[in-house]
Amino acid sequence: MKKLFKVLLASLLCLGLVGCSADTDDNAGDATGTPETPVLKIAGLDGGYGSAGWEAVIANFEAAEGVSVELQLEKNIAEVLRPVINSGKDIPDLVYLAVGATGGLTEAMISEKQILDISDVLDMQVGAEGVTVGEKLLPGFTDALTSSPYQDGSLYLAPINYGPCGLFYDANLLATKGWELPTTWAEMFELGDLAAAEGIALFTYPTTGYFDAFFSAVLNSVVGPEQYAKLMTYDVAAWESESTKEAFALVGKLAGYVEENTVANANGEGFTKNQLLILDNKAIFCPNGTWLPGEMAEAPRTEGFEWGFTSIPAYTEGGDAYATTFVEQMYIPTSAENADLAKKFIAYCYSDEAAALFYTNGGAVMPIVGNEKFITAEDPNSLYYNIYNTGAKANAVGFAAIEKVEGVDLTSADGILYGTVNSVVAGTKTVEEWHADVVEAVKKLNK
Amino acid sequence: MKRNKEKNIFVALCLAPALLLFTIFMVIPTLNVFYISTLKWGGLSANKTFVGLKNYTILFEDMNFIASLQNTILIIVIVTIITMVVSLIFASIIVREDIKFKNFFRVIFYIPNILSVVVISSIFAQIYDPSTNGLLNSILGLFNGEGWTTIKFLGDQGIVIYAIIGAMIWQAIGYYMVMYMASISAIPEHLYEAAQIAGASRFTQFTRITIPLIWNNIRTTLTFFIISSINLSFLFVKVMTSGGPDGASETVLSYLYSQAYTNASYGYGMAIGAVVFILSFILSGAISKATKRDVLEY
């Protein structure tokens, strides 16, 4: 009897274990969908534009298509999705996460070739508007390296939410001091000297992560579009060239005009303090995207503060001035179950109806023809989107997909190309050392 | 004989669940880390290439890794020495001396341990604020005249790692103090009385009675120091500096994270993990061996 009891007890313990690991698949049937109504799973970043736009667009899509959509937006979506994608189960049908977003998930998906070719979406009709997606999208977006990273003419990542990244400043400060808005770098540094005499720094940046938009525009204006395209494909000769060095030297000179506390605050914890510097009139310019006024809406500011927005100055008199076009992406993982439905949803996102919903619920602007319908002249956002109508050229940022090399991080926010800016500003590295490090990394990536 | 066999079966059956759990959740994942470290793998696809020990050869030529390893060792050494000395002294004072508000101090010192690292990091971001409004800088400003520039605790590449060490020590003192207090309280009072009669000073009592009698406890905490310094430094660095400025505060685990995820080099990240695993084992083993003494009975 005793023996039987012992055996029973032991098997009970083992059973408990098995119970723990038992698959809970029997709950799967309880999900919102049934075999008749397919479920589209969307996962994405809960970012500056919020979730209201997505919810509104999804509600309309559900009604129109008779499907069910599960939306999961998280601030740390890269961390949330990584194990899901690794496990191969419950993979979202559509992921909304930009190239360059924290966590590097999208870059990993690109370099691991885990993103579905969605070129056929370009031929799909946008609702009942009588145009195809390819016709509806603004030119230049689908062949950018952020959408077509393998340069094979196919579309992999659908562009969404575009906005210019330029330099923000206090328009009132410049007006009251009688300072002209600089159009060239020479004028920029002149202004820097004038401001320094009054104890105001010329420049600050939230974190080095913003240099992808800022420095790429500088590079483009200094080396020209042809060589810039080579830079983005890791061409060693282009990176080694004298003109590229000049762009580095320009940032090196700008480093001398950076507000002194910038480096100390250029991290996830302190970046808003750097953004605050332009509201406090302690620094004039700060590179950022259109979400900045919203992000700093509650922050205290000097009296009379008025948002101003301009492109990166031209390298020479009469040269091209650029403002980087920041654009986010959404894509379908190769192992998504409802790829066709996801494609339909992407096409729907480019409809006027969806674009209006995205814009009125969070301010996101879709890269489609006919945007001016939403952004009227009275709209405060017109200040930013008008930048391209007032002489600035659009600069696309994004490197070609390349096989990752261990220990060589060139392009992330803290990577060699942008992260080293902190050292240049702090004075612990020279521009020459920075340039040499970048060239060495590009060579390693080309091996 | 039969009884003995039955007993063995029973013991084996009782141990089986725990062993099974240990194997599933500890042994297999650890072995897996070593296996993945021999692959070139981005971490997401089925596209894995066996590269043998190549990740390790890259690792030992990677100056960023060497720098992060140096930072980690610096953190372990300084955090351990300062935290141990300070918490031993505090523990001894609170237990041995007749001071007021004993329990109050006990609670106050322990509070940082209840707070999450993210909260502590935010507190220290304010303390280290580089502007004249920063807590430390405004105090330092009192002693410095006009034209003094504030200290950029998190912006100066030579200081930033010490700034993180400061936050880590502040966080750890209470925890170790409570551990030391527990064993100091267990030392019989008569030993101290006898020492006092023999004319031993407080300091002599501390070094000749307290320390030798809680030696075993100190040894245990040394292992804790190594493991927790490696782990916690990752959290502090991640929140306070993201490894910056320009990698100056990178530690092995934050470097592992940025390589495995941001740089999509999962195999390489696991090679870093394997090195950290072996290193912490060796370090703990060496320290345990070096501090081995006969346990004093009382």
DSSP-assigned states of every residue in A171-217: HHHHHHHTPPPP-BHHHHHHHHHHHHHTT-EEE--S-GGGHHHHHHH
In this structure, the answer to whether residues A59 and A48 fall within a common structural domain is: yes
Give pLDDT, residue A185.
94
If asked whether residues A75 and A55 sit together in one domain, one would say: yes
pLDDT of residue A100: 82
As to burial, measured by CB atoms within 10 angstroms (0-12 exposed, 13-18 middle, 19+ buried), residue B211 is middle
Candidates A208, A261, A266; nearest CB to B131: A261
Nearest C-alpha neighbor of A169 from the set A324, A18, A311: A311
CB atoms within 10 A of CB A388: 14
Contacts of A82 in chain B (CB under 8 A): 43-44, 261
| A16–B17 CB contact, under 8 Å | yes
Do both A93 and A127 map to the same domain?
Answer: yes
Alpha carbon separation from A183 to A92, A189, A313, B221, B282 (Å, rounded): 46, 11, 5, 62, 60
Q: What tens-digit pLDDT sequence spans chain A (447 residues)?
A: 566 556 555 555 554 444 444 444 444 444 444 556 789 999 999 987 889 999 999 999 999 888 999 999 998 899 899 889 888 888 999 999 998 888 888 988 998 889 999 999 999 998 888 899 999 988 888 888 889 998 888 999 999 988 889 999 999 999 999 999 999 999 999 999 999 999 999 999 999 989 989 999 999 999 998 999 999 999 999 999 999 999 999 999 999 999 999 999 998 888 999 999 999 999 999 999 888 888 888 999 999 999 999 999 999 988 888 888 888 999 999 999 999 999 999 999 999 999 999 998 888 889 888 877 777 777 778 888 888 877 788 888 888 888 889 999 998 888 999 999 999 999 999 999 999 999 999 999 998
Two tokens, residue B154: 């998190």
Residue type for position B90: F
Q: Chain B residue closest to A102 (CA)?
A: B262
Assigned token pair, A302: 């000097």
Answer whether A119's CB lies under 8 Å from A109's CB: no
Total structural domains in chain A? 2
- ipTM metric: 0.87
Q: Which domain holds residue A191?
A: 163-325+398-445
Pairing mode, if any, of strands A157-170 and A68-74? unpaired
| Euclidean distance between CA atoms A58 and A60, whole angstroms | 5
Residues A44 and A95 in one domain: yes
Q: In the 8-state DSSP scheme, what is residue B167?
A: H
Asked if residue B192 has pLDDT above 70, the reply is yes
Provide the sign of the torsion angle of the four alpha carbons A282, A287, A292, A293, taken in this order.
positive
* Enclosing H/E stretch for A201: strand A201-203
- Assigned domain for A25 exists: no
Per the structure block, which two tokens stand in for A202? Answer: 């010329």
Q: A35-44, A120-129, B22-31, B167-176: which range is least confident on average? A: A35-44
Q: Are residues A291 and A229 in the same domain?
A: yes
Of all helices (H) and strands (E), which one includes residue A2? helix A2-21
Give the per-residue pLDDT at A22: 43
What CATH number does residue A303 fall under? 3.40.190.10
Minimum Cα–Cα distance from A85: chain B residue: B44
Q: Which of B119, B146, B246 to mutate to test the interface with A (most CBs of A within 10 A)?
A: B246
Let me know how long chain B is: 298
Nearest CA in chain A to B37: A406
Neighbour count for residue A237 (Cβ, 10 Å): 10
Q: Does A81 contact B at CB distance below 8 Å?
A: no
- Cβ of B45 within 8 Å of Cβ of A114? The answer is yes
Residues A272 and A204 reside in one and the same domain: yes
**Tens of pLDDT, residues B197-242:** 999 999 999 999 999 999 999 999 999 999 999 999 999 999 999 8
β-strands A94-96, A322-331 pairing: antiparallel
Cross-chain Cβ contact A260/B130 below 8 Å: yes
DSSP label of A329: E
Structure letter (DSSP) for residue B262: I
**Contact check, Cβ <8 Å, B242/A267:** yes
The beta-carbon neighbor of B149 closest among A11, A260, A263 is A260
State which of A348, A377, A406 marks the end of a domain.
Answer: A377
Smallest CA–CA distance from B242 into chain A, residue: A267
Task: Write out the two tokens for A372.
Answer: 């001016």
**Which stretch of DSSP H or E encloses residue A203?**
strand A201-203
Indicate whether A216 and A83 sit together in one domain.
Answer: no
**Domains and their CATH numbers in chain B:** 36-290 (1.10.3720.10)
For B94-98, what is the mean pLDDT?
A: 88
Q: Which tokens belong to A433?
A: 């050392």
Environment class of A314 (CB within 10 Å of its CB; exposed 0-12, middle 13-18, buried 19+): buried
Joined tokens for residue B225: 């120091």
Query: Phi/psi at A15 (nearest 5 deg)?
Result: -60, -40
Number of CB atoms found within 10 A of residue A403's CB: 11
**Residue A301 sits in the same domain as residue A340:** no
Question: Which pair of tokens denotes residue B60?
Answer: 């030992």
Give dist(CA A113, CA A174) in Å, integer: 48
Report whether the peptide linkage leading into residue B245 is cis, meaning its omega lies within 30 degrees of zero: yes
* CA–CA distances in Å: residue A396 to residues A216, A222, A232, A247, A250: 8, 15, 10, 17, 20
Distance from CA of B232 to the nearest CA of A (A): 17
In a domain, residue A24? The reply is no
* B255-293 pLDDT, tens digit each: 999 999 888 899 999 999 999 999 999 999 999 999 998
Same domain, A183 and A122: no
Cβ neighbours of B13 in A, within 8 Å: 6-7, 10-11, 13-14
Residue of A nearest to B265 (CA): A406
| pTM for this predicted structure | 0.86
Question: Phi and psi dihedrals of B122, rounded to 5?
Answer: -65, -40
**Greater pLDDT, B136 or A20:** B136
Cα A369 to Cα A133: distance, rounded to the nearest angstrom:
10
Task: Return d(Cα A96, Cα B197) in angstroms, integer.
Answer: 76
A183 and A145 in one domain? no
Residue A33 lies in a domain: no
Calculate mean pLDDT across residues B16-36: 95
Q: What confidence score (pLDDT) does residue B1 get? A: 60
Say whether residue A269 is in contact with chain B using an 8 A CB cutoff: yes
Q: Is A54 found in the same domain as A126?
A: yes
Instruction: With respect to residue A387, please indicate whether it lies within any of the assigned structural domains.
Output: no
Q: Are strands A68-74 and A283-288 parallel, antiparallel or unpaired?
A: unpaired
**Strand pairing class (A201-203; A393-396):** unpaired
Least CB-CB distance to B13: which of A10, A107, A207? A10
The DSSP bridge partners found for residue A323 are A394
In terms of domains, do A223 and A294 share one? yes
Per-position DSSP letters for A383-426, written without gaps between them: HHHGGGTTTPEEEE--PPP----TT---SSTTSHHHHTHHHHHH
Which helix (H) or strand (E) element contains residue B76?
helix B63-96
A230 lies in a domain?
A: yes
Structure tokens at A269: 């914890």
Residue B243 with chain A: CB contacts under 8 Å: 414
